[in-house]
Copies of this chain bind each other. A is one copy, B any other.
Amino acid sequence: MSQFATDTRVERVGDNLWRGELRRGWRIGAVPNGGYVLAVAGRALSEALPHRDPLAVNAFYLAPADLGPVECRVELLRAGRSISHAEVKMYQQGELRVQVTAAYTDLDALSGETWSGAPRPDFPGWDDCLPSGQKKLEFRERVDIRLASGAEVFSRREPDGSGQFLGWVRHADGTDPDVISLLMFADAFPPPAFTLFGPLHWVPTVELTVQVRARPAPGPLQARLFSRHLTRGVIEEDGEYWDSAGQLVAISRQTARIRVG
C-alpha cells in the first residue's frame, strides 16, 4: 500500500461520519498541506457516494489543520444519474477546519468532445530537471518535485519574475498517482508568487478548487503553476497537470493571501 493511501485512509464510524488521521510527513511548517487534507475528504467522499471519482472539488480553509484525528461529516446533497453532490465538514477538536463541496462522477463514463487551446508545455523530462530545493520542508519527505523553471528562486534566491513554475511531481515512495492524489498534487508546488518575491514565509490558502478530467497513467505528473493577478495581497494560483502519457488529468485554482517582507 502506498504511503499516500495509508495516510489518507478513512474509516466509517457512524451515519455519514468518517474518521481520518492527518499524519506527519505532509506538513508545510507546522501545518498539514491543504491538498493532503483535501485528499482525506476526497477519500471519504469516494467511499460514501454512489460515484467514486471527483469531477470538481472545492475547499474553503477556515483554520489551519493539526496532526491527529479528523472527523469528516459527509452530507449527500443530491445523487443524480451521472453526478453526485456532497459536502464534507472537517472537524478537529470540535472546531470546523475545512469545508468541502464536491461533484463526483464516473470519469470513465465521460463522453463528448475534447479540445485544447493550451498545449502541454514542452520542457525537459524528470531526470533533466532540478530538485526544487526546500529540503527542510517535511512535505518533501512525501512528495518529490523537479523544476524545469523557477528553481533559481531556491538555489540562488533569484526570482525570475515570471509568476510561473514548470516541472514534475510524484509520490516520494515511487508509487503511481491515483485519482484522489490529484487533489493533493494540486496544492503541492511552491506558490508561483515565489518567482516574484522570493520564498515567502507563509502563503495561506483561502479556497481551492480542483477540476479532475481523467484517471492518471502511471509515472510522474507534469505541472504548470502560475499566477497572473495579485491585488493588494490577494492572488490566484492556477495549475494544469498532465500525466506521463501527455493527457490532461486536472486543473486547479486557489485564492491565496501573500504578505511580502
**A contact residues vs B (CB 8 Å cutoff):** 55-56, 58, 60, 62-63, 77-78, 83, 85, 87, 96, 99, 101-103, 110-118, 162-164, 196-197, 206-207, 209, 211, 213-214, 226-234, 236, 240, 248, 251, 253, 255, 257-260
Instruction: Please determine whether B117 and A228 come into contact, CB atoms closer than 8 angstroms.
Output: yes
In the bound complex, what is the Cα–Cα distance between A258 and B207 (angstroms)? Answer: 26
In the assembled complex, how far is the CB of residue A222 from the closest CB belonging to chain B, in whole angstroms?
14
List B contacts of A240 (CB < 8 A).
229
Q: Are B62 and A233 in contact (CB under 8 A)?
A: no
Q: Once the chains bind, are B230 and A260 in contact (CB under 8 Å)?
A: no
- Which of chain B's residues have a CB closer than 8 A to the CB of A234? 55, 110, 112, 211, 213
Assess A113 versus B251: contact at CB under 8 Å? Given A87-B99, A96-B78, A99-B87. no
How many copies of this chain?
A: 2
Contact among B62, B102, B248 for A229, CB-based, below 8 A:
B248
Q: Which residues of B contact A229 (CB under 8 A)?
A: 115-118, 213, 240, 248, 251
Neighbour of A63 across the interface among B63, B78, B255, B260, CB < 8 A: B78
Chain B, residue nearest A232 (CB): B110
Tell me whether A113 and B260 are in contact (CB under 8 A). Answer: yes
A111 in contact with B232 given A55-B206, A58-B101, A60-B103 (CB within 8 Å):
yes
What separation, in Å, do the CA atoms of A83 and B232 have in the docked complex? 15
